[in-house]
Structure formats: C-alpha cells, structure tokens
Structure 1
Amino acid sequence: MGLTGKLSAQIEYKSSGDVFHELFKNMPHEVSKMSPEVIQGCDLHEGELGTEGSVLVWKYTHDGKERVAKEIVESIDEEKRSVKFRVIEGDLLELYKTLTATFHVDKHGDIDLVTWTLEYEKLHEDVEDPLTLLGLTIKLTNDIENHHLKA
C-alpha cells in the first residue's frame, strides 16, 4: 500500500456545467447557500476571485465534524471548464502531506459530466484513503445541481 493516491468520481449533471464552473471560479461564497449541510462558508483570504493564486478558506462539515481548509487556486482552465485547489492549511493536513481537489466539466452528447479528482499523499500508512471526502464532493455536486434545477 503506497502513501500516494488518486481518487475520481464522475457525476451526471443535469443543470448547466458552465454554471457549475463559474460558481466555483467566481462565486465560491455562494456554494454554502446551495449545500449548507456540506459547506458553511467560503471566504476570500488573498487575491481576487476567479484568478489563479487566490486563497480561499472553506468552512465545511466532513464525517460529522466542522472543519476548515485553506486552499490556493492552482489552476483555472476555461476550455476544460476546470478548477484545481490545493490545501495549504487546515484539518486535512493532519492526515495528508498534500491534497489537491480538481473538477472539470465534460460534455457527453447533451449531458454534462462533472468529474472530481482527489490527489493526495498520506502522512503515514495508517491513514485511510479519502473516500469519505470524495463522497462529500459527490453530495456537494448533487446539492448544487438540485438547487439550480429548482431555480
């Protein structure tokens, strides 16, 4: 069993993938309104929304506990409709040396697909793979979709 790993989940997204991308790129502070069980807040700590290098602080619930993660926006790709976040402070770094979360939106015919990928390096062998964190990204995506479908 290695210390590094990669997990992915692909979710069929019935709302607009462009809106999903724009939300995380330019309006992450709005996510808590769409998925309050998962995200309680997102504040811009440094930089400018919608730009690489900006730093966000997320308040979220994971495994029934309130958590905090400070993340830097490593990359934004308009063509691939993707955003990559790297955790630089917070609870997750108690378990992982590195952790990045990337999503991208693909078009498959008339269907948009949101793919989340977690890449990580565990601090030691006893640390579990972040499967529950991947589950959190799936719930978050479904909550956002349901919010937009009701609007």
Structure 2
Amino acid sequence: MAGVKVKMETEVELKASADKFYSIFSSQAHQVPNATPDIIQGVEVHEGDWKTHGSVKLWKYTVETTEGNAEVFKEKVELDDANRTVSFVGVEGDVMKYYKTFKPTFQLTPKGDGCLAKLTIEYEKLRADVPPPDKYFTMMFKMTKDVDAHLVKA
C-alpha cells in the first residue's frame, strides 16, 4: 500500500566483532567495494566526509548480480555510535523511483567473539503496485556476509 511505512528485518550472526563491522560502515565505506566487488562497485563522498553523521555518499552497485542491474543510491548517513547503528537515508537514486522513503539500517550487537547484525529496511512505496524491496534486502544480506568474510580474513 502506498502511504504506509513498512519495515523488513532479519538478524544474522557474524564472525567479525561488532566494532570492526560498525567501523566499516560508519567510517570506512570506501572499503566496502573491496569486500563485495560483485555487489558494490564504488562509494563516493558527496558532502561531508567518510565518518561524520549527516555526510552524503553515492553508492554504485549491482542488484541481482546474475541479471547485472547497475544502480546508484545517494544516501545521508545517520550514526549512533553508542548502539553501533548505521542508517542510510535515501536521498536520490534508482530505489527512489519506487519508494517515497527508503532507509536500510545495520545494528551490531557484540556476541561472543563475533556479533549479531540486525538488518532492517524501512520504506514507503510511491504507488500501490510497487513490490516490496525484497531484492534490496537480499542484496543487503549478501553484502553483510561478504563484508564479514572480508573482515575475518583481514
């Protein structure tokens, strides 16, 4: 339904520490393409810098890597250091053709030597016929697993 805010979420256990994982998305996003090059092709700062709340970045990515759909996503980052939470508030880009609001969030909680990652996408459809962002949620999950594997190797 258009005009209704919806939330999708899941949790995934990671081997990397919550602090390591949080630091990648909160202050070293330029490292993400190294960890998951088949999904993320590049990240550029448009306003601010790599580590400041409110900075704006442009992500170049491929959603549904088998079909090779290249897209861009311009976001304004929201950081909550105390809770190790990073949110990317959609400003422009391909997803904004379908959703009035689009906000993926990573929340990391320490668990043993690793952590528990809560992945959330909050969104509001522009029209009733727009499907839920399942492909973006799947991409977010795969990206999380790739970054975790990269951090464990590093």
**Shorter-chain TM band:** over 0.9
Superposed counterparts of 1:15-30, under 5 Å: 15-30=16-31
Query: Are residues 1:76 and 2:46 paired?
Result: no
Q: Quote the Cα distance in structure 2 between the aligned partners of 1:82 and 1:139.
A: 18
Q: Quote the Cα distance in structure 2 between the aligned partners of 1:78 and 1:36.
A: 27
Q: 2:136 aligns with which of 133, 136, 139?
A: 133
Q: Name the % identity.
A: 40
Query: Are residues 1:67 and 2:71 paired?
Result: yes
- Tell me the equivalent position of 2:12: 11
- 2:146 is matched by which residue type in structure 1? D
Following TM superposition, the consecutive aligned residue runs of length 4 or more in structure 1 with deviations greater than 3 angstroms are: 108-111
Deviations 1:30-79 (A, max 9, x none): 10000001100000010122111100000000133000011011x21111
- 1:15 is matched by which residue type in structure 2? A
What's the RMSD between the two structures over aligned residues?
Answer: 1.3
Superposed counterparts of 1:1-151, under 5 Å: 1=1, 3-63=4-64, 64-73=68-77, 75-151=78-154
Q: Quote the Cα distance in structure 2 between the aligned partners of 1:72 and 1:4.
A: 19
Q: Quote the Cα distance in structure 2 between the aligned partners of 1:136 and 1:4.
A: 21
- 1:21 is matched by which residue type in structure 2? Y
Deviation at 1:4, TM superposition (A): 2.5
Question: Does the 8 Å contact 1:15/1:149 carry over to 2?
Answer: yes
Structure 2: gaps (5+ residues): none
Q: Quote the Cα distance in structure 2 between the aligned partners of 1:28 and 1:142.
A: 15
The alignment covers a number of residue pairs equal to 150
Task: Decide whether aligned partners of structure 1 residues 24 and 141 sit closer, same or farther in structure 2, where only a CA change above 3 A counts.
Answer: same
Q: Quote the Cα distance in structure 2 between the aligned partners of 1:5 and 1:33.
A: 31
Deviation at 1:145, TM superposition (A): 1.1
SS class of match (1:51)? coil
- 1:43 is matched by which residue type in structure 2? E
SS class of match (1:79)? helix
